[in-house]
Structure 1
Amino acid sequence: MQTILITGTSSGYGLETARHFLSRDWRVIATMRRPDADALPRSPNLRILPLDVTSQESIAAMVAAAGPIDALVNNAGIGVVGAFEATPLSHIRKVFDTNTFGVMAMCQALIPQMRERRSGVIVNVTSSVTLTAMPLAAAYTASKQAIEGFTGSLAHELGHFDIRVKLVEPGYAPTTRFAENADVRVEDLIPLAYAGFAAPIFEAFARPALTTKETDVAEAVWAAIHDTSGQLHFPAGADAVALYEAHRG
């Protein structure tokens, strides 16, 4: 039985991915800032551990408790929507601390054991905003674009040790609590000068032509972890697949 460690499993993509792997007889280490025993189905193959990816101490304690890990899914993230000029630099740093440096810290914590075994898979979850520019999401996009470049480089670096590194790029999911951990209100980040520009964008968010389901992401993570072809990008959801095909073309 193989063991997968997933960050950010209290809701959304992480929660569904944990359910997906539990249903397929994997041992799952589900991590979240505030552990919730009711968030996932009871199973002898499940462990829920506390984790703050922005804290080295929290990461070290979690890794020590988790034991050997075959697959790491870096899913934890926070979002921010608003005009860039109105977004405080302190908040931009918070977004990068979780979405970028948190991913890097988790990789550094688990690469040594994978390297020593010469086996393992790392999946970094980014976003379809890396495939096409989206207005009012500059800081979020930058944090995810950084991970795209990081993952591509890391895939070359760790391939030497038979460690596979992949990207899963979810599309837009209206049900995802995108900015729940942002500690900032969207309305505070839309100055009056941007109101006319922002209104139709938010209307499009409310009625997207294509959306991504949480199960789409779980299935993409499953495919990425089992892929041995060298494929790096795994778009998740009909909208992300369409953007990926257009981007490649």
Structure 2
Amino acid sequence: MPSTSTILITGCSSGFGLETARYFLDKGWRVIATMRTPRDELLPRSDRLRILPLDVADAASIRRCIESAGPIDALVNNAGIGLLAPMEGIAMDDVRQIFETNTLGTIAMTRAVLPQFRERRAGVVVNVTSSVTLKSLPLLSVYTASKAAVNAFTESLALELEPFSVRVRLVLPGRAPGTSFGANARQRITASGHEAYAGLMKQVFASVQDTSTPITHAKDVVEAVWQAVTDPSAPMRIPAGADAVAVAAGRPAA
């Protein structure tokens, strides 16, 4: 794609989304960075940047965002919610919230841009999921299910859109302890505890925060998204981060 292309990225208030927006700006792209609560100070001023409000779990918010954005060349579905907790300690309302954002939000955003991509016979959708969909871990049953559903959705949709020259790809980050995503997950583990799992929770939480073994950095995810967007020969699944690469290759991550 030429550097004058336009990319829309969800979940840009922090973490992978914010760094991806910065990277594409630096590469000369027009960037539409979306956030539930827009904050102009997060990104450098540029005539190629627009920051728009977006809640991917709200149909009206999606409609307004897409109408305001106008034509785009690439969509990166990055917005997501983390949840690290035993199944018995999770309220069903929380389960629904996870799926509304991680799964249905991704599907709704993708559906919203497909007409323009299909009509132009060009466009790229990149869905950011997780390497936990490749290797099961405890206390992540709901989160993993929400992301695994996106994997299946993406791979099927890619076949559906191939006749229209629209590409659909997956980026699968590994463990990134330093992100705000991890901080949100920590809040949820406290709120969703269950005394029977106290020992397991302590053990898993310590391993999640361990930085002595391979982890994923924002740069890894940004570069994987760049490859997925700009390289037509990129594979369907792109692991991002040393730990994710190891898991995808069937090797121990430590």
Q: TM-score range by the shorter chain?
A: over 0.9
User: Are 1:224 and 2:232 an aligned pair?
Assistant: no
How far is 1:197 from its partner?
1.8
Deviations 1:53-86 (A, max 9, x none): 0111111111111010100000000011110111
Shift of 1:227: 2.1
Correspondence for 2:216 = 212
Structure 2 match to 1:236: 240
Task: Tell me the SS of whatever aligns to 1:229.
Answer: coil
- Unaligned 5+ segments in structure 2 are none
C-alpha separation between the residues in 1 aligned to 2:56 and 2:220? Answer: 24
1:166 and 2:169 are equivalent in the alignment: yes
Query: Does structure 2 conserve the Cα–Cα contact (< 8 Å) formed by 1:78 and 1:180?
Result: no
Q: In structure 2, the residue corresponding to 1:150 is in which secondary structure?
A: helix
- Equivalent residue, structure 1, for 2:66: 63
Q: In 2, are the aligned partners of 1:80 and 1:179 still within 8 Å (CA)?
A: no
What do residues 196-233 of structure 1 show as CA deviations (whole Å, max 9, x unaligned)? 12222111112141111111111000001122226201
1:102 equivalenced with 2:110 (yes/no): no
Percent identity over the alignment? 54
Residue 198 of structure 2 is aligned to residue 195 of structure 1: yes
Structure 1 residue 76 and structure 2 residue 79: aligned?
A: yes
Shift of 1:195: 1.1
Residue 182 of structure 1 and its aligned partner are, at CA, apart by 7.1
- 1:20 and 1:46 map into 2 onto residues whose CA distance is 12
Q: Spell out the pairing of 1:43-62 with structure 2 (5 A cutoff).
A: 43-62=46-65
Amino acid paired to 2:29: W
Is this contact kept in 1: 2:227–2:234, CA < 8 A? no
8 Å contact from structure 2 (residues 173, 240) kept in 1: yes
The residue type equivalent to 1:15 in the other structure is L
Code of the aligned partner of 1:137 = L
Using the alignment, how far apart are the partners of 1:53 and 1:198 within structure 2? 30
CA distance in 1, matches of 2:230, 2:38: 28
> Larger deviation: 135-144 or 197-206?
197-206
Q: Does residue 40 of the first structure (1) align with residue 43 of the second (2)?
A: yes
Q: How does 1:133-172 map to 2 (within 5 A)?
A: 133-172=136-175
Q: Give the aligned length.
A: 247
CA distance in 1, matches of 2:226, 2:54: 22
What is the rounded CA distance, in whole Å, between the counterparts of 1:230 and 1:19 in structure 2? 22
TM-score, normalised relative to structure 2: 0.94
Unaligned runs of 5+ in 1: none
Is 1:30–2:33 an aligned residue pair? yes
What secondary structure does 1:142 align onto? Answer: helix
Distance 2:202 2:230 in 1: 42
Question: CA RMSD, aligned part only?
Answer: 1.5
SS at 2:88 equivalent: helix
Q: Deviations for 1:88-115, whole angstroms, at most 9, x for unmatched residues?
A: 0100000000000000000110000000
Letter paired with 2:243: D
Of 235, 238, 245, which residue of structure 1 is paired with 2:249? 245
1:21 maps to a residue whose letter is F
Which amino acid in the other structure matches residue 116 of structure 2? Q
